[in-house]
């Protein structure tokens, strides 16, 4: 029965070929540092799942943002876990994505034929920082607010367009409810869309080109 | 980089079945692979459960909160109740939903036969939640949505409602009517 | 990479793969183990550390120390190496270079070598970048301890520093010599440091200035003095007194019973300077107010150069020789000048001459002389100006610099007339003609507090006033007035306004009730309370003034006891008559009503002022700054007040017209001496002294 269903599915989707391409391929012998990429991917999934769960209660409006985060943290069953995972997952993801990049540099894995994989990786690194920056404001507590004040003021020194850039980013001269909603929109819709797209390309290329082998001395 | 044919992995010549069959012909290889696959399944399952189970409680959290107020809510003076026909009385109640507290106004029909015993009936039709009103000619509560009629005691006279109008526990204290369970 | 190299690589890679392992399950197994460990770690962090939630964001709270998330800290720290205009390098140039480097890496490193040993440049740059980031992050974490972390309890100055400065500056700040730190803190810098004057009182900024400039001073204070003293209490101390006390050791009377060493034995001269700088911060305006204004008045006038001014201050009177004008002026001119300084009113032609010859040192202040002959002699021969302390021996270099800088700047201030006009045009509408405040037209139910009180002006320095006027107070409905913020006034005009407001300090337009901290004990009787509080506006004898005249029989008959009680208890909105019920007990108010009623029966005389009553406090407030430590007449006790004085009694009981005290206070003294030198006291204060002397100068 299972085989029959599998055959039917394979006929309509060709999944066996895809499955074999993804899972049954052979990989050069590699060491533990090669798990950093998949670990980053794993924390990304944690962030997606916990992030979605947080949006069930979070309201991006100054008074309610704080009240809802407080409700999630202090009153909802396992709210502390969901928010805690998301909070620490963010730090973990930044750390892992940087270590992953360092590993790639050390093994020269950005070289032919993986140049484009590398460029998507750099974009993903920047995206991760953007996630961290926009997400930091959302709880709307003192730490969030003032870190964003400092963060956006730093950007103000950009020559010529600095002031305009900051005003556009904040939706006004000062941090306000408008800033909160646009940071929320970026953190929940814009950045994840880009992230999924880039991660998709990145993983496709990793599978297509294979993972780098550990270079031997003199190679 | 050249065209696709130069690519390192061509799907047709990709690392497929043959090499794996080589290993699966070896008994040791099979048991090792099963062990690894099993371990992956256990760890994956643990992680999924570690997030999934708390997530269920997390999502269900607010539904477990006490929705029905257990305090007595004051409706008004007994003298304002007309013994001839049901009297619509208004009161406000604070409802808490998560971190938000909202004030809601609600209405109940209060009837009395003798001026000492009171019955409080919800003015919400049990069919689809429209508001019912007292119609003297029919001496019953009329719901305009599907022409349902409830009797004075709340039982269904005609129409689609599945059950009588909801009633509330009442008490009288210092000449004031209180109800419970709104 | 050449085509052959690429092909060779692909071939080699195929070989590697053949020798490799299948992705499922071998690789995924490894990945799962790592994922599982990460998951456990995250759950543990969520459980044991949690995600904190601080207080709700408060945009008006500038005391919060902002910190970015840890992974941005290295960037935050990097900015400290690029002050001012260089900031753009740290913020834009370096990050852009880093990102471009990363993107272009495959084309920068084009060799076919893959092993790290074969790519020293790329590996070197990467390692350097990572080490630098880690180093900067660690440095940022170490330099800026979280607020309230390491301060010793009770060290309020250090706590101020931690709360306000440490977040950005770390544990110490290097200040270039000659920096006006007070101005920097109160006005902020264009390098991104905010202005603190809205959040910190002048006292607090001074405390910070002392703390930052003289960390060793703080240590010495904390280890040697803090057992008995708090730093706040000494910040307003008299610099002369402070130095005396420190030099005398246990010879200083209050230290007699204590084992206090002479500081020259225990502290190096550098430490002595640091201690003084810590206690009396180099803040020119405060130094001027504390040390100079009792003789020189509040309005600063000096026409010479900064170097000359510095010399005057450092050398003080003892060394400051007036030139012998006999050599340069003719006898006639000297005679005119002598007449002018003896009696300015009689010799109007002296004014011009004085302005030419004397004003560069004396400014508008006419020196005190005993007689015409003395004046002629002094002018012709010159001589030392002994009244002025030798500040060079009292103040530290930093303090002297600050004082000189302040005086030089303040001397160039505009005159008050234009400030007054500007005030009437722009401010009086909301703040009242005398700065007394009133209903806020911008916000209903809001009262604008008085801005002319001593308390208000004392706690806000010129920088602060300037900032408030230019930037407005949007939270309270005050629009910005500075042209830089879209208002109508130029910077110069704002300065004129500030100068005008500052002049209120010397001549209060309205004597407002003292702040609540000066409030009488709950045990004080109604009469005492009246003398202390009510008399300021309603007159010692109920004769009225700013406030209602209680002695007026028609007022007495128009108001019931209940009316009076309510008026005292509830006050009148938007006037200086505050709701005293918040300050006084109802019993005291009842006694006050009884006391106010006594004015009715006694008409306008409820008894003359006494030394113990109103007089001693006037002496203490207006005279003791000079009379007391500098010799001559002293008013610090009743006996001294009546018996001391140069060349005869100062007070002749019963004869105010011939008492020198009264003469100097109403400018009828034959030698033209006026007291206080900076300007006469308000008429009603003078009247109390006259009444007191006329009544036979009773002690109580």
Q: In this predicted model, what pLDDT tens digit does every residue of A47-57 receive, in sequence order? A: 999 999 999 99
Q: Which of A56, A82, A208 sits opposite B9 (nearest CB)?
A: A208
C460-464: Cβ within 8 A, 24+ apart? C460/C197, C460/C201, C460/C202, C461/C182, C461/C186, C461/C197, C461/C202, C461/C205, C461/C285, C462/C285, C462/C498, C462/C502, C463/C183, C463/C186, C463/C187, C463/C195, C463/C197, C464/C186, C464/C197, C464/C198, C464/C202
pLDDT in tens, C603-620: 444 567 778 767 877 787
Q: Is A170 exposed, middle or buried (0-12, 13-18, 19+ CB in 10 A)?
A: buried
What pLDDT, on a 0 to 100 scale, did the predictor assign at position C601?
58
Residue by residue, what is the 3-state secondary structure of C120-156? HHHHHHHHHHHHHHHHHHHHHHHHCCCCCCCCCCCCH
Q: Judge contact between A139 and A71, C-beta under 8 A.
A: no
Those residues whose C-beta lies under 8 Å from the C-beta of residue B10, and which sit 6 or more positions away, are B4
Mean pLDDT for all residues in chain C: 76
Question: Strand pairing of C21-22 and A26-27?
Answer: antiparallel
What pLDDT, on a 0 to 100 scale, did the predictor assign at position C487?
80
Closest CA to C583 of C594, C597, C568: C568
Alpha helices in chain A (DSSP H): 2-13, 15-23, 35-55, 62-74, 79-106, 115-137, 142-155, 162-170, 177-185, 191-209
Those residues whose C-beta lies under 8 Å from the C-beta of residue A74, and which sit 6 or more positions away, are A80
Give backbone dihedrals phi and psi of C461, rounded to 5 degrees, phi first.
Answer: -85, 180
> What does the pLDDT average to over C593-610?
68
Closest CA to C458 of C203, C138, C114, C144: C203
What pLDDT, on a 0 to 100 scale, did the predictor assign at position C148?
36
Highest mean pLDDT among A15-29, A154-168, C155-169, C333-347: A15-29
pLDDT at C516 over 50: no
Mutate to test the interface with A, among C68, C117, C119, C124 (most CBs of A within 10 A): C68
What pLDDT, on a 0 to 100 scale, did the predictor assign at position C623?
76
Highest mean pLDDT among A79-83, B20-24, C239-243: A79-83
- pLDDT over 90, % of chain C: 8
What pLDDT, on a 0 to 100 scale, did the predictor assign at position C603?
44
CATH of domain C516-601: 1.10.760.10
pLDDT at C171 over 80: no
Residue C151 pLDDT grade (very low, low, confident, very high; cuts 50, 70, 90): very low
190-209 in chain A: CB under 8 A from chain B: 207-209
**Which residues from B are below 8 Å from C26, CB to CB?**
36
**Which residues from A are below 8 Å from C124, CB to CB?**
none
Residue C2 pLDDT grade (very low, low, confident, very high; cuts 50, 70, 90): confident
Distances (CA, A) of C421 to C415, C438, C491, C570: 11, 20, 16, 35
Using CB atoms, list chains with 3+ pairs below 8 Å to chain A.
B, C
Closest CA to C296 of C378, C345, C364: C364
Q: Is the peptide bond before A113 cis (omega within 30 degrees of 0)?
A: yes
pLDDT at C640 over 90: no
DSSP one-letter code for C251: G
Q: Is A168 exposed, middle or buried (0-12, 13-18, 19+ CB in 10 A)?
A: exposed
Give backbone dihedrals phi and psi of B131, rounded to 5 degrees, phi first.
Answer: -90, 130
Q: How far is A85 from chain C (nearest CA, A)?
A: 6
Q: Judge contact between C257 and C640, C-beta under 8 A.
A: no
Highest mean pLDDT among C62-76, C114-128, C316-330, C684-698: C114-128
Flag whether residue C47 sits within 8 Å of chain A, measured between CB atoms: yes
**Which residues from B are below 8 Å from A21, CB to CB?**
11, 14
What pLDDT, on a 0 to 100 scale, did the predictor assign at position C198?
64
Mean pLDDT for all residues in chain A: 92
Residue B180 pLDDT grade (very low, low, confident, very high; cuts 50, 70, 90): confident
Flag whether residue B9 sits within 8 Å of chain A, measured between CB atoms: yes
Q: How far is B19 from chain C (nearest CA, A)?
A: 8
Distances (CA, A) of C689 to B123, C218, C615, C627: 83, 44, 7, 17
Stronger pLDDT, C139 or C552, i.e. the higher one: C139
**Two structure tokens written together for C391:** 């500040």
Q: Please report, for chain C, the start and end positions of each structural domain, with discontinuous segments joined by +.
A: 1-55, 65-143, 413-506, 516-601, 611-694
Partner-chain contact A68 B57, CB within 8 Å: no
What is the count of residue pairs from A and B with beta carbons less than 8 Å apart? 71
Stronger pLDDT, C362 or B50, i.e. the higher one: B50
> What does the pLDDT average to over C202-214?
78
Partner-chain contact B40 C28, CB within 8 Å: yes
**Which residues from A are below 8 Å from C44, CB to CB?**
none
By residue count, chain A amounts to 219
Q: Is C156 exposed, middle or buried (0-12, 13-18, 19+ CB in 10 A)?
A: middle
pLDDT in tens, A153-200: 777 777 788 888 888 989 988 889 999 999 999 999 999 999 999 999
What pLDDT, on a 0 to 100 scale, did the predictor assign at position A126?
96
Range from A42-56, C93-107, C145-159 carrying the lowest mean pLDDT: C145-159
**Which residues from A are below 8 Å from C35, CB to CB?**
38-39, 42
What domains are there in chain A, each with its CATH number? 31-139+187-209 (1.20.810.10)
What pLDDT, on a 0 to 100 scale, did the predictor assign at position C133?
93
Q: Judge contact between C422 and C458, C-beta under 8 A.
A: no
What pLDDT, on a 0 to 100 scale, did the predictor assign at position C298?
52
Highest mean pLDDT among A72-76, C522-526, C545-549: A72-76
pLDDT in tens, B147-160: 889 988 889 988 88
Residue C508 pLDDT grade (very low, low, confident, very high; cuts 50, 70, 90): low
Rounded CA separation A137/A175 (Å): 10
Stronger pLDDT, B135 or C360, i.e. the higher one: B135
Residue A95 pLDDT grade (very low, low, confident, very high; cuts 50, 70, 90): very high
Range from A21-30, C327-336, C512-521 carrying the lowest mean pLDDT: C512-521
What pLDDT, on a 0 to 100 scale, did the predictor assign at position A101?
96
Alpha helices in C350-441 (DSSP H): 350-357, 359-362, 372-381, 397-410, 416-426, 428-431
Those residues whose C-beta lies under 8 Å from the C-beta of residue C618, and which sit 6 or more positions away, are C681, C685, C688, C689
pLDDT at C388 over 80: no
pLDDT at C234 over 90: no
Residue A70 pLDDT grade (very low, low, confident, very high; cuts 50, 70, 90): very high
Q: Is B4 exposed, middle or buried (0-12, 13-18, 19+ CB in 10 A)?
A: exposed
> Is the domain B72-180 a CATH 1.10.10.10 member?
no
Flag whether residue C113 sits within 8 Å of chain A, measured between CB atoms: yes
> What does the pLDDT average to over B114-133?
86
What pLDDT, on a 0 to 100 scale, did the predictor assign at position B57?
93
Rounded CA separation C384/C300 (Å): 22
Residue A122 pLDDT grade (very low, low, confident, very high; cuts 50, 70, 90): very high
Residue C303 pLDDT grade (very low, low, confident, very high; cuts 50, 70, 90): low
Q: What ipTM was estimated for this complex?
A: 0.95
* Helical pair A115-137 and A142-155, crossing angle rounded to 10 deg: 130
65-84 in chain C: CB under 8 A from chain A: 65-72, 75-76, 79
- pLDDT over 70, % of chain C: 79
Partner-chain contact C42 A85, CB within 8 Å: yes
Stronger pLDDT, C31 or C556, i.e. the higher one: C31
Buried b (16+ CB within 10 A) or exposed e, A77-102: bbbbbbbbbbbbbbbbbbbbbbbbbb
What pLDDT, on a 0 to 100 scale, did the predictor assign at position C313?
77
Residue B115 pLDDT grade (very low, low, confident, very high; cuts 50, 70, 90): confident
> What does the pLDDT average to over C219-248?
74
Mutate to test the interface with B, among C36, C47, C106 (most CBs of B within 10 A): C36
DSSP string for B91-118: EEEEEEETTEEEEEEEEEEEEESSSSSE
Q: Which of B17, B51, B58 sits opposite A79 (nearest CB)?
A: B58
Q: How far is B75 from chain A (nearest CA, A)?
A: 32
> What does the pLDDT average to over C304-329?
71
Highest mean pLDDT among A39-43, A59-63, C48-52, C438-442: A39-43
pLDDT at B8 over 60: no
pLDDT at B112 over 60: yes
Dihedral of CA atoms A193, A199, A201, A207 in degrees, nearest 10, equals: -150
Stronger pLDDT, B98 or C363, i.e. the higher one: B98
Rounded CA separation C40/C378 (Å): 92
Rounded CA separation A164/A87 (Å): 31
**Which residues from A are below 8 Å from B64, CB to CB?**
77
Partner-chain contact A84 C38, CB within 8 Å: no
What pLDDT, on a 0 to 100 scale, did the predictor assign at position C197?
67
User: At the top level of CATH, which class does the domain C413-506 belong to?
Assistant: mainly alpha
**Residue intervals in chain B for CATH 2.102.10.10:** 72-180
Count of beta carbons in the 10 Å neighbourhood of residue C477: 14
CATH of domain C65-143: 1.10.287.980
Partner-chain contact B39 C29, CB within 8 Å: yes
Rounded CA separation A86/A139 (Å): 12
Rounded CA separation C75/A123 (Å): 19
Q: Which of B8, B36, B47 sits opposite C29 (nearest CB)?
A: B36
Closest CA to A47 of A93, A81, A110: A93
Rounded CA separation B113/B82 (Å): 9
Residue C368 pLDDT grade (very low, low, confident, very high; cuts 50, 70, 90): low
What pLDDT, on a 0 to 100 scale, did the predictor assign at position B7?
38
pLDDT in tens, C406-436: 777 776 666 677 788 888 888 887 887 777 7
In chain A, how long is the greatest CA-to-CA distance?
Answer: 69
What pLDDT, on a 0 to 100 scale, did the predictor assign at position C436?
74
What pLDDT, on a 0 to 100 scale, did the predictor assign at position B44?
95
Stronger pLDDT, C445 or C497, i.e. the higher one: C497
Buried b (16+ CB within 10 A) or exposed e, C90-105: bbbeeeeeeeeebeeb
> What does the pLDDT average to over B4-12?
40
Buried b (16+ CB within 10 A) or exposed e, B52-74: eebbeebbebbeeeeeeeeebbe
Using CB atoms, list chains with 3+ pairs below 8 Å to chain C.
A, B
């Amino acid at each position: 029965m299972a085989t029959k269903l599998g055959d039917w599915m394979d006929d309509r989707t060709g999944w066996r070929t895809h499955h074999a391409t993804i899972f049954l391929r052979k990989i050069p012998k590699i060491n533990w540092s090669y798990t950093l990429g998949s670990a980053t991917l794993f924390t990304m999934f944690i962030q997606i799942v916990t992030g979605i769960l947080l949006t069930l209660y979070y309201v991006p409006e100054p008074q309610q943002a704080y009240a809802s985060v407080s409700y999630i943290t202090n009153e909802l069953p396992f709210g502390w876990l969901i928010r805690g995972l998301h909070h620490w997952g963010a730090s973990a993801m930044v750390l892992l994505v940087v270590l992953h990049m360092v590993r790639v540099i050390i093994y020269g894995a950005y070289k032919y034929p993986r140049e484009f994989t590398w460029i998507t990786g750099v974009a993903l690194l920047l995206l991760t920082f953007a996630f961290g920056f926009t997400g930091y404001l959302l709880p709307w507590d003192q730490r969030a607010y003032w870190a964003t004040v400092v963060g956006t003021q730093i950007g103000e020194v950009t020559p010529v367009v600095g002031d305009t850039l900051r005003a556009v980013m904040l939706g006004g001269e000062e941090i306000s409810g408008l800033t909160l909603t646009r940071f929320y929109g970026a953190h929940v819709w814009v950045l994840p869309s880009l992230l999924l797209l880039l991660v998709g390309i990145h993983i496709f290329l990793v599978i297509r080109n294979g993972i780098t082998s550990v270079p031997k001395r003199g190679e | 980089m050249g065209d696709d044919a130069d690519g390192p992995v061509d799907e047709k010549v990709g690392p497929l079945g043959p090499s794996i069959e080589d290993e699966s012909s070896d008994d040791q290889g099979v048991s090792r692979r099963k062990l690894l696959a099993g371990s992956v399944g256990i760890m994956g399952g643990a992680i999924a459960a570690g997030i999934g189970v708390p997530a269920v409680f997390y999502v269900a959290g607010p539904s477990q909160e006490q929705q029905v107020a257990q305090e007595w809510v004051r409706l008004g003076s007994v003298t304002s109740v007309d013994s001839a026909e049901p009297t619509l009385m208004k009161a406000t109640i604070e409802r808490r939903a998560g971190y938000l507290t909202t004030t809601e106004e609600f209405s109940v029909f209060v009837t009395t036969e003798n001026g000492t015993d009171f019955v409080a009936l919800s003015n919400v039709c049990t069919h689809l939640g429209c508001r019912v009103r007292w119609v003297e000619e029919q001496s019953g509560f009329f719901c305009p949505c599907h022409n349902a009629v409830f009797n004075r005691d709340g039982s269904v006279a005609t129409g689609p409602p599945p059950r009588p109008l909801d009633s509330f526990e009442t008490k009288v204290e210092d000449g004031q009517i209180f109800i419970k369970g709104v | 990479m050449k085509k052959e190299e690429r092909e060779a690589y692909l071939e080699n890679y195929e070989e590697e793969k053949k020798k490799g392992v299948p992705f499922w399950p071998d690789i995924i197994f490894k990945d799962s183990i790592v994922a599982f460990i990460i998951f456990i770690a995250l759950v543990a962090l969520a459980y044991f550390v949690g995600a904190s939630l601080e207080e709700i964001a408060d945009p008006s709270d500038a005391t919060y120390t902002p910190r970015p998330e840890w992974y941005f800290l290295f960037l935050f720290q990097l900015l400290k190496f690029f002050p001012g205009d260089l900031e753009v390098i740290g913020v834009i140039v370096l990050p852009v270079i880093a990102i471009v480097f990363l993107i272009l890496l495959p084309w920068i490193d084009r060799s076919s070598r893959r092993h790290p040993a074969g790519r020293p440049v790329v590996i070197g740059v990467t390692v350097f970048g990572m080490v630098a980031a880690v180093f900067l992050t660690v440095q940022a974490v170490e330099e800026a301890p979280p607020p309230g972390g390491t301060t010793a309890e009770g060290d309020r100055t250090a706590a101020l520093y931690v709360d306000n400065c440490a977040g950005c500056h770390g544990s110490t700040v290097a200040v270039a010599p000659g920096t006006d730190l007070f101005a920097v803190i109160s006005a902020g810098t264009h390098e991104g440091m905010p202005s603190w004057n809205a959040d910190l009182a002048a006292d607090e900024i001074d405390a910070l200035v002392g703390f930052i400039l003289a960390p060793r001073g703080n240590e010495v204070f904390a280890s040697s003095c803090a057992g008995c003293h708090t730093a706040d209490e000494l910040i307003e101390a008299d610099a002369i007194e402070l130095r005396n006390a420190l030099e005398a050791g246990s010879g200083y009377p209050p230290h007699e019973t204590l084992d206090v060493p002479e500081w020259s034995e225990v502290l190096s001269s550098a430490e002595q300077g640091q201690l003084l700088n810590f206690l009396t911060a180099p803040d020119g305006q405060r130094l001027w107010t504390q040390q100079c204004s009792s003789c020189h008045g509040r309005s600063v006038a000096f026409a010479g150069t900064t170097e000359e001014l510095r010399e005057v201050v450092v050398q003080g009177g003892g060394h400051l020789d007036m030139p012998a004008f006999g050599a340069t002026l003719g006898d006639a001119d000297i005679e005119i000048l002598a007449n002018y300084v003896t009696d300015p009113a009689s010799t109007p032609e002296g004014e011009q001459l004085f302005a030419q010859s004397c004003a560069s040192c004396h400014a508008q202040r006419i020196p005190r002389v005993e007689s015409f002959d003395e004046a002629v002699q002094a002018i012709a021969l010159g001589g030392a100006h002994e009244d002025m302390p030798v500040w060079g021996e009292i103040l530290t270099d930093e303090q002297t610099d600050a004082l000189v800088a302040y005086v030089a700047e303040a001397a160039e201030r505009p005159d008050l007339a234009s400030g007054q006009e500007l005030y009437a045009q722009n401010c009086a509408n909301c703040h009242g003609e005398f700065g007394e405040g009133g209903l806020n037209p911008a916000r209903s139910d809001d009262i604008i507090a008085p801005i002319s009180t001593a308390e208000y002006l004392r706690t806000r320095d010129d920088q602060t006033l300037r900032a408030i006027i230019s930037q407005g107070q949007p939270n309270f409905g005050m629009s910005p007035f500075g042209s830089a913020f879209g208002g109508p006034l130029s910077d110069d005009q704002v300065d004129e306004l500030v100068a005008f407001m500052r002049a209120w300090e010397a001549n209060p337009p309205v004597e407002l009730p003292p702040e609540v901290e000066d409030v009488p004990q709950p045990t004080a009787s109604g009469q005492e309370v009246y003398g202390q509080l009510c008399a300021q506006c309603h007159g010692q004898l109920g004769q009225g003034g700013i406030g209602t005249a209680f002695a007026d029989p028609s007022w007495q008959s128009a108001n019931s006891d209940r009316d009076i009680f309510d008026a005292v208890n509830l006050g009148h909105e938007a006037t200086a008559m505050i709701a005293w019920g918040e300050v006084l007990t109802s019993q005291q108010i009842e006694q006050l009503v009884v006391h106010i009623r006594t004015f009715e029966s006694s008409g306008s005389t409820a008894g003359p002022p006494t030394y113990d009553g109103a007089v001693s406090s006037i002496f203490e407030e207006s005279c003791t700054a000079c009379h007391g430590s500098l010799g001559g007449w002293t008013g610090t006790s009743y006996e001294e007040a009546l018996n001391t004085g140069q060349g005869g009694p100062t007070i002749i009981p019963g004869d105010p017209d011939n008492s020198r005290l009264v003469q100097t206070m109403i400018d009828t003294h034959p030698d033209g001496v006026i007291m206080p030198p900076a300007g006469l006291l308000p008429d009603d204060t003078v009247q109390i002294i006259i009444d007191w002397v006329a009544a036979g100068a009773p002690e109580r």
